[in-house]
Structure 1
Amino acid sequence: MKLKACLFDLDGVLVDTAQYHYQAWKKLANTLGFDLSAQQNEQLKGISRTESLNKVLAWGGLSLPADVQVQLAERKNAWYVEMISAMTPATLLPGAAALLIELRREGISIALGSASKNARLILEKTALRDYFDAVVDGNMVIRSKPDPEVFLAGAEKLRVSAAECVVLEDAAAGVEAARRAGMKAVGIGNPADLIEADWVVPDLAAVTVERLDELFC
């Protein structure tokens, strides 16, 4: 088997939007009368907006009607969109642009597999859209990670088999989704948090196509 495609998570891999998510969720929690810690925010990485809201409300001991929950999710997202609208190519994480350029040069297909419903806006603001052969985001899938749906959809769009793909992820839920999809997984971050990954690096600056190929040897 040979590497034919790379599927990237967005937040925490290509860009650092986690800080904006945290600020927006924290602001929402504060308006509801409680606070949100950085440790709690870690549990929101890689999951959908609805699931994140459910966790935040549970931490605040709140049970609210469905229509109110929709309003709260929309309010949080409006704050978040306002923040990410100021992003530029300068906000890319280390190694992101260089790796995408190398993958393009080597003829490796590239897809995005993200739970974010604002992924396309972020790609536009950071000038990354043209690097991707396919984009699968939170508007296109029903089940969030660790369900493998988002990555399997990406592989289908690229017309490659799961066994020919590598996923680059910063969240344990994303790594689990990759493994459940039958794909190789490169974890971005702390090895202790990404124990199921085939390889863990601090950021994309440590990743090369040659090293990715070695995962298939």
Structure 2
Amino acid sequence: MLKTAYIFDMDGVLVDSEAFYFELRMQFLREHHLPNYYPDINAYLGVDPAVEWQMMIPDAAVRQQLSADFERFWAQHPIDYAACILPQVPELLLDLKQAGCRIALASVGALTEVEQMLTQCQLPVTFDVVLSAADVQQKKPAPDVYLAAVHQLKLTSRQCVAIEDSTVGIMAAKRAGLETWAIADPRYHVDQSQADRVFTGIGAVRDFIKKQQTN
């Protein structure tokens, strides 16, 4: 039986952006001859960008000194979201809309990046609710963004499914009382044991939903 609404994380669920962002951060460290305290991409998956910045440069004084440089560097190396959209994402969103379900986007990424993704990817449907880091005080693993999504959808947590990939994202969704599905990526080592279901990709999610519709 289908749920009333499906709430999607963005990075790693809708778009394959995490490797791009990781390499960009590593490049910044190399160009500024800074030590690399977290050379493993798994340390960054699903983490609030502000926390990632602290991980990159633990020294607060150095962070403040380089903050403007990092903002310029980031702006000079934009991601091409259209090239990063994961297989069958547009099809799944269209399937859900045609089935009468509502869809929401709940990301801890910057609003500019969320808007950029939506514009570049030209998705075939419009999200009913779109949330970014700008909309909540506490980021994942706090449940705030999922609670806000449920509230704006005017539903209960039991009527919604969260689709996540990272450990902190799964924790956030579960703390909000949501059934949580995880998208596994064999390239990364992510603890998804708290998820209610784990899928090998969006295509597997589509297949599962189609079976639910026929049962």
The TM-score by the shorter chain falls in which range? 0.7 to 0.9
CA separation of 1:125 and 1:179: change in aligned 2, threshold 3 A: same
User: Which residue of structure 2 aligns with residue 197 of structure 1?
Assistant: 195
Q: Counterparts of 2:196 and 2:29 in 1: how far apart (Å)?
A: 36
Secondary structure of the 2:91 match is helix
CA separation of 1:210 and 1:87: change in aligned 2, threshold 3 A: closer
Indicate if the aligned counterparts of 1:143 and 1:149 stay in contact, CA closer than 8 A. Answer: yes
1:38 to partner: Cα distance:
7.9
Secondary structure of the 1:111 match is strand
CA separation of 1:157 and 1:212: change in aligned 2, threshold 3 A: farther
1:140 to partner: Cα distance:
1.6
Question: Which of 109, 118, 142 pairs up with 1:116?
Answer: 109
1:5 to partner: Cα distance:
0.7
What RMSD in Å do the two structures reach over aligned CA positions?
2.7
Mean Cα displacement is larger for which, 70-79 or 12-21? 70-79
1:192 to partner: Cα distance:
6.2
1:37 to partner: Cα distance:
8.2
Kindly indicate whether residue 128 of structure 2 is the aligned counterpart of residue 133 of structure 1. Answer: yes
**How does 1:63-142 map onto structure 2 within 5 Å?**
63-64=60-61, 67-68=64-65, 70-79=67-76, 82-84=77-79, 86-88=80-82, 91-117=84-110, 118-128=113-123, 130-142=125-137
1:200 to partner: Cα distance:
0.3
1:95 to partner: Cα distance:
2.0
Over the matched positions of the two proteins, sequence identity in percent amounts to: 27
**How does 1:176-191 map onto structure 2 within 5 Å?**
176-189=171-184
User: Which residue of structure 1 aligns with residue 16 of structure 2?
Assistant: 16
Q: Which runs of 4+ in 1 moved over 6 A?
A: none
1:125 to partner: Cα distance:
0.3
CA separation of 1:76 and 1:151: change in aligned 2, threshold 3 A: farther
Kindly indicate whether residue 139 of structure 2 is the aligned counterpart of residue 153 of structure 1. Answer: no
**What is the TM-score normalised by the length of structure 2?**
0.85
The aligned amino acid for 2:202 is L
1:129 to partner: Cα distance:
7.7
Secondary structure of the 1:194 match is coil
1:39 to partner: Cα distance:
5.3
Structure 1 gap segments, 5+ residues each: none
Structure 2 gap segments, 5+ residues each: none
1:208 to partner: Cα distance:
3.0
Q: Counterparts of 2:37 and 2:56 in 1: how far apart (Å)?
A: 10
